[in-house]
Chain A
Amino acid sequence: MLLAETLRSSTLKLALLAIGLFGSVMFALIGYLYWSTASYVGSRSDRAIAAEQIVLKEAYERAGRDGLTATISQRIADGRLESGVYLLADASFVSIGGNLKFWPAALKDAQGWASITQKSTPEAVALPLLRVAFETLPDGSHLLVGRNIYDLDTFVGAIRTALAGTIGFLIVLAGMAAFLITRRTVGRIEAINTTSRAIMQSGLGQRMPLRGTRDEWDRLAQNLNLMLSRIEELMTEVKQVSDNVAHDLRTPLTRMHARLEKAHDQPRDSARDQALISDTMGDLSTVLGMFSSLLRIAQIEGNSRSDAFCTVNLAEIAGDVVELFDAAAEEVGGRIKMQSQEPVLVTGDRDLLFDAIANVVDNAIKFGGEAGRVTVDVVERDGTPLVSIADHGPGIPFEQRTHVLKRFYRLEHSRHASGNGLGLSLVAAVAKLHDARIEMLDNAPGLVFRLWFPRGTEHQSHS
Chain B
Amino acid sequence: MAGARRRILVVEDDPVTAEQVADSLANNGYEVDIAADGNVGLRRGRSAEYAVMTIDRMLPGIDGITVIRQLRKEGIITPALILSALGEVDDRVRGLRAGGDDYLVKPFAFVELLARVEALARRSTAVLKETMLQAGDLELDLVSRTAKRSGREIALRPREFEVLWYLVRNQGRVVSRAMLLQHVWDLHFDPTTNIIDVYVGRVRRKVDGQHTYPLIHTVRGVGFCLRAPG
The answer to whether B193 touches A296, judged by C-beta atoms less than 8 angstroms apart, is no
Q: Which listed residue (A292, A328, A349, A419) contacts B198, Cβ 8 A? A: A328
The answer to whether B193 touches A419, judged by C-beta atoms less than 8 angstroms apart, is yes
> A362 at interface (Cβ–Cβ under 8 A)?
yes
Q: Which listed residue (B89, B187, B190) contacts A292, Cβ 8 A? A: B190
Q: Which listed residue (B93, B157, B186, B192) contacts A323, Cβ 8 A? A: B157
The answer to whether A289 touches B89, judged by C-beta atoms less than 8 angstroms apart, is no
Give every chain B residue within 8 A of A278 (Cβ-Cβ).
Answer: 220-221
Give every chain B residue within 8 A of A418 (Cβ-Cβ).
Answer: 194
Q: Which listed residue (A292, A308, A419) contacts B90, Cβ 8 A? A: A308
The answer to whether B221 touches A282, judged by C-beta atoms less than 8 angstroms apart, is yes
> A185 at interface (Cβ–Cβ under 8 A)?
no
Q: How far is the CB of A374 from chain B (nearest CB, A)?
A: 14
Q: Which listed residue (B89, B157, B199) contacts A349, Cβ 8 A? A: B89
> B87 at interface (Cβ–Cβ under 8 A)?
yes
> A354 at interface (Cβ–Cβ under 8 A)?
yes
Q: Which listed residue (A306, A327, A350, A354) contacts B202, Cβ 8 A? A: A327
The answer to whether A327 touches B221, judged by C-beta atoms less than 8 angstroms apart, is no
Give every chain A residue within 8 A of B77 (Cβ-Cβ).
Answer: none
Interface flags, B191-214, vs A, CB<8A=1, else 0? 111110011011000000000000
> A123 at interface (Cβ–Cβ under 8 A)?
no
Q: How far is the CB of A34 from chain B (nearest CB, A)?
A: 79
> B171-230: which residues lie under 8 A (CB-CB) from chain A?
185-195, 198-199, 201-202, 220-221
The answer to whether B195 touches A351, judged by C-beta atoms less than 8 angstroms apart, is no
**Cβ-closest chain A residue relative to B190:** A292
Chain A CB count within 10 A is highest, among B88, B185, B194, B199, for B88
Interface size class of B (residues with CB under 8 A): 20 to 34
Interface flags, B106-142, vs A, CB<8A=1, else 0? 0101000000000000000000000000000000000
> A331 at interface (Cβ–Cβ under 8 A)?
yes
Q: Which listed residue (B191, B193, B201, B221) contacts A281, Cβ 8 A? A: B221
Bound-state Cα–Cα, A307 to B93, Å: 9
What does DSSP make chain B's interface, helix, strand, loop or mixed? loop
Q: How far is the CB of B76 from chain A (nearest CB, A)?
A: 26
> B42 at interface (Cβ–Cβ under 8 A)?
no
Give every chain B residue within 8 A of A350 (Cβ-Cβ).
Answer: 186-187
The answer to whether A303 touches B90, judged by C-beta atoms less than 8 angstroms apart, is yes
Interface flags, A257-300, vs B, CB<8A=1, else 0? 00000000000000000000010011011001100110110011
Give every chain A residue within 8 A of B220 (Cβ-Cβ).
Answer: 278, 281-282
> B105 at interface (Cβ–Cβ under 8 A)?
yes
The answer to whether A351 touches B89, judged by C-beta atoms less than 8 angstroms apart, is yes
**Cβ-closest chain A residue relative to B202:** A327
Q: Which listed residue (B87, B187, B190, B202) contacts A330, Cβ 8 A? A: B202
Interface size class of A (residues with CB under 8 A): 35 or more
Q: Which listed residue (A285, A307, A362) contacts B193, Cβ 8 A? A: A362
**Cβ-closest chain B residue relative to A422:** B192
Bound-state Cα–Cα, A289 to B189, Å: 12
> A11 at interface (Cβ–Cβ under 8 A)?
no
Bound-state Cα–Cα, A320 to B88, Å: 22
Bound-state Cα–Cα, A162 to B159, Å: 103
Give every chain A residue within 8 A of B221 (Cβ-Cβ).
Answer: 278, 281-282, 284-285
Given contacts A327-B199, A327-B202, A331-B198, contact A292 B193 (CB under 8 A): no
> A330-351: which residues lie under 8 A (CB-CB) from chain B?
330-331, 349-351
Q: Which listed residue (B88, B109, B187, B201) contacts A299, Cβ 8 A? A: B88
Give every chain A residue within 8 A of B194 (Cβ-Cβ).
Answer: 418
Bound-state Cα–Cα, A306 to B90, Å: 7
> A114 at interface (Cβ–Cβ under 8 A)?
no
Bound-state Cα–Cα, A358 to B221, Å: 21
The answer to whether A327 touches B187, judged by C-beta atoms less than 8 angstroms apart, is no
The answer to whether A289 touches B88, judged by C-beta atoms less than 8 angstroms apart, is no
Given contacts A330-B202, A354-B187, contact A289 B159 (CB under 8 A): no
Give every chain A residue within 8 A of B195 (Cβ-Cβ).
Answer: 324-325, 328, 358, 362
Given contacts A278-B221, A282-B220, A323-B157, contact A355 B89 (CB under 8 A): no
The answer to whether A327 touches B193, judged by C-beta atoms less than 8 angstroms apart, is no
**Cβ-closest chain B residue relative to A274:** B220
Bound-state Cα–Cα, A325 to B194, Å: 10
Given contacts A299-B88, A303-B90, A327-B201, contact A289 B185 (CB under 8 A): no
A–B pairs, 21, beta carbons within 8 Å: A278-B220, A281-B220, A281-B221, A288-B107, A289-B192, A293-B192, A296-B87, A296-B88, A324-B159, A324-B195, A327-B199, A327-B202, A328-B198, A331-B201, A350-B187, A351-B89, A355-B187, A355-B189, A358-B191, A358-B195, A423-B192
On A, residues with C-beta under 8 Å from B are: 278, 281-282, 284-285, 288-289, 292-293, 295-296, 299-300, 303, 306-308, 320, 323-325, 327-328, 330-331, 349-352, 354-355, 358-359, 362, 418-420, 422-423
Apart from A299-B88, A327-B198, list 14 A-B contacts with CB within 8 A. Answer: A282-B220, A282-B221, A288-B107, A292-B87, A296-B189, A300-B88, A306-B89, A307-B93, A320-B185, A331-B198, A350-B187, A358-B191, A362-B193, A418-B194
The 3 closest A-B pairs by CB, nearest first: A327-B202, A281-B221, A328-B198
